[in-house]
Amino acid sequence: MTHPLAKTHRLVVKIGSSLLVEEASGHVRRKWLDALADDIARQRAQGREVVVVTSGAIAVGRRPLGLPSGALRLDQKQAAAATGQIRLAHAYQETLARHDIVVAQVLLTLDDSENRRRYLNARTTLLTLLAQGAVPVINENDTVATQEIRFGDNDRLAARVAEMIGADTLILFSDIDGLYTADPRRDSGARFLTEVVAITPEIEAMAGQPGSAVGSGGMVTKITAARIATQAGCKMAIAPGHGLHPLAALEAGGRATWFKPVGEPKAARKRWIAGALSPAGVLVVDEGAVKALRSGKSLLPAGVVGVEGEFQKGEAVLISDRQGRAVGRGLVAYSAADSRRLQGLNSADIEAALGWRGRDEMIHRDDLVLE
């Protein structure tokens, strides 16, 4: 059997606080992080793009602020994160600089994955960073995220990031080494699962209830993450991260539970565009554009002859021909007002028309499905 990492192009690695931060001192474990950075450099040398989702801001920041040990209130956590995030980002920057890798800090909130305009912005920024060869280092924007709009855990955040950028592999490294049929601390008959083909109610039951002995270890959020990632066509692993070089260990056949994806990331994204979103408006396009779309091209402003309805950048719109026949649907890169300004123009004239330089495409082909 080929290793699940063999075909990986775009990899999201999630690092849990317990791996990165020494509990007693609240310091970043530099030796461990250096080893991880070496692993990341090796992955990149094999032609893979790597994104890191890291926890640890709160754990690193609480001591310098003089906060007590034990459970913190939300505002204390937010204050700790504000202090810790700087140190965390620095640590990643320093260690990856040893391999001449540029690090980019991206702080996201739940809203950035739910609100379409912000989703599209975050996605575009991350893809630009990857295209420029940087390693995005992502955490939740804990300082501004209030209770209702928080992910609260980076397992789900990492899965949303994987979905957002069409990653094909997500690895959750933590002190949990994978999924067992029962709690191994209580049940000597508990079996380790190396592969999960579908997230059935039975699999969910294995994760335990939130707040139970097993669940509090974080398995529940990991199964939720697995559901998000696999639905987005991204395979996911829960793997132990405490040893040095966890990625290299995993690639060498180390222990992990792998969750099988449902299809490919691209197909999953297209399914989402085709099914889940109700169109907020219509772009009417000319015959040349219909032909271009059918041959796999993006929709350019030049081919648009009419704009109907009111929509925001990032919303789903229908594409129709002049006779009103549906051609497809997609996520539009401009609001309805801007689309009206741009219709019929060459992409080179976008900046002059809007006063800022937007994307060349009205709807990029990755954001487009044909009828």
DSSP string, 28-64: B-HHHHHHHHHHHHHHHHTT-EEEEEE--HHHHHTTT
Minimal distance in Å, beta carbon 291 to ligand GLU?
48
Minimal distance in Å, beta carbon 141 to ligand GLU?
9
Cβ-based nearer residue to ligand GLU, 32 or 334? 32
Which residues of the chain form contacts with ligand GLU (CB under 6 A)?
Answer: 17, 55-59, 81, 139-140, 142, 153-154
Cβ-based nearer residue to ligand GLU, 56 or 178? 56
Cβ-based nearer residue to ligand GLU, 74 or 205? 74
Alpha carbon distance 123, 363 (integer Å): 14
Alpha carbon distance 129, 221 (integer Å): 28
Alpha carbon distance 326, 56 (integer Å): 49
Minimal distance in Å, beta carbon 16 to ligand GLU?
6
The terminus-to-terminus CA distance of the chain in angstroms comes to 37
Minimal distance in Å, beta carbon 228 to ligand GLU?
14
SS3 317: strand
Minimal distance in Å, beta carbon 31 to ligand GLU?
20
Minimal distance in Å, beta carbon 239 to ligand GLU?
16
Q: Which pair of tokens denotes residue 126?
A: 């991350």
Cβ-based nearer residue to ligand GLU, 57 or 256? 57
Alpha carbon distance 363, 317 (integer Å): 9
Q: Which pair of tokens denotes residue 159?
A: 């899965």
Minimal distance in Å, beta carbon 97 to ligand GLU?
21
Cβ-based nearer residue to ligand GLU, 39 or 153? 153
SS3 90: helix
Minimal distance in Å, beta carbon 53 to ligand GLU?
9
Cβ-based nearer residue to ligand GLU, 55 or 298? 55
Q: Please, which residues have CB within 8 angstroms of residue 366's CB and are 6 or more apart in sequence?
A: 166, 266, 269
Cβ-based nearer residue to ligand GLU, 19 or 203? 19
Minimal distance in Å, beta carbon 232 to ligand GLU?
19
Minimal distance in Å, beta carbon 62 to ligand GLU?
9
Specify whether the CB–CB gap between 59 and 26 falls below 8 A.
yes
CA torsion angle 285 291 293 295 (round to 10): 180
Q: Please, which residues have CB within 8 angstroms of residue 327's CB and are 6 or more apart in sequence?
A: 285, 290, 293, 319, 320, 321, 370, 371
| DSSP at 363 | B
Please give the backbone phi and psi of residue 87, each rounded to the nearest 5 degrees, phi first.
-65, -40
Cβ-based nearer residue to ligand GLU, 73 or 357? 73
Alpha carbon distance 365, 298 (integer Å): 4
Cβ-based nearer residue to ligand GLU, 104 or 362? 104
CA torsion angle 158 164 167 170 (round to 10): 10
Cβ-based nearer residue to ligand GLU, 43 or 55? 55
